[in-house]
């Protein structure tokens, strides 16, 4: 059965500062985190979900979609390819995804459905419509159970983002499926005791992307980019993220 797995909203830098401060222990220094920045594409949020024995489903940001009840043509384009994509281009390349799929967990591959006439006034407008993967989530389907001294992890089902080093090679160019890590990435170290010291660097990178979209440049298109999404993986396993837009 298709089950909608919502992609969380990506907040601004100030929200990340608030979240880190709120979660910090009292009377302790705030952390210094290393972030990876990926190009923010101007399209529409989309995803393909899989569960063994249940097949696949497509979804937009807000609902499960089908070729008959679609969102900008995503399901119509992806639905016929989804099973082959997963079997040939995903499972053989990511052991974590394969392990959890075999256990019956849900696998959700999130990305941006972009290009074509989905959005206007950006470099990728007018390119062939494409699906660019930017995050993969696993939703553990084991039933809830009371935590015990011997197995405290039983308390809740485990939902987590798969580290991008495991799926950065997942793509299928012949079918216009790309991976955000194929394109330029950025890095920054942010000291949350002095987050304002990172603002100029964040702004400079954003302005660079805005002047010329790196994904557009990859396809020989000159034009505007939208911004950068920054994610911390080492300590927060992909849960601390923010965007900086032009």
35's enclosing H/E stretch is strand 32-40
For residue 243, give the nearest of 205, 213, 212 by alpha carbon: 205
* Beta-carbon contacts of residue 136 (< 8 Å; ≥ 6 apart): 94, 97, 107, 108, 109, 110, 161, 162, 167
Q: What pLDDT band is residue 1 in, cutting at 50, 70 and 90?
A: low
pLDDT at 144: 52
For the chain, the farthest-separated pair of C-alpha atoms sits apart, in whole angstroms, at: 59
Model confidence pLDDT, tens digit, residues 44-78: 999 999 999 999 999 999 999 999 999 999 999 99
Residue 58, SS3?
Answer: strand
For the chain, the straight-line distance linking the first and the last C-alpha, in angstroms and rounded, comes to 40
pLDDT of residue 25: 72
pLDDT, the chain, mean? 92
pLDDT tens per residue, range 195-228: 999 999 999 999 999 999 999 999 999 999 999 9
Looking at residue 164, its pLDDT comes to 97
Whether the predicted pLDDT of 94 surpasses 60:
yes
Domain 33-245 homologous superfamily, CATH? DNA ligase/mRNA capping enzyme (3.30.470.30)
């Amino acid at each position: 059965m298709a089950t909608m797995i919502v992609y969380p909203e990506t907040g601004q830098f100030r929200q990340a500062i608030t979240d880190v401060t709120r979660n910090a222990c009292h009377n302790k220094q705030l952390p210094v985190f290393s972030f990876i920045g990926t190009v923010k594409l101007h399209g529409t949020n989309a995803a393909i979900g899989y569960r063994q024995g249940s097949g696949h489903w497509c979804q937009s940001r807000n609902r499960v979609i089908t070729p008959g009840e679609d969102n900008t043509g995503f399901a119509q384009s992806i639905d016929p390819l989804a099973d082959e994509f997963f079997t040939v281009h995903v499972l053989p390349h990511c052991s974590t995804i394969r392990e959890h799929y075999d256990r019956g967990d849900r696998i959700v591959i999130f990305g941006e459905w972009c290009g074509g006439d989905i959005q206007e006034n950006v470099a990728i407008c007018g390119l062939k419509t494409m699906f660019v993967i930017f995050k993969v989530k696993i939703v553990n389907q084991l039933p809830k159970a009371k935590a015990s001294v011997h197995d405290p992890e039983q308390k809740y089902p485990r939902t987590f983002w798969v580290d991008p080093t495991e799926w950065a090679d997942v793509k299928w160019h012949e079918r216009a499926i790309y991976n955000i890590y194929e394109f330029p990435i950025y890095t920054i170290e942010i000291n949350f005791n002095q987050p304002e010291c990172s603002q100029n660097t964040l702004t400079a990178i954003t302005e660079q992307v805005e002047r010329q979209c790196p994904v557009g440049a990859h396809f020989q298109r000159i034009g505007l980019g939208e911004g950068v999404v920054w994610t911390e993986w080492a300590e927060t396993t992909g849960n601390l993220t923010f965007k900086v837009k032009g």
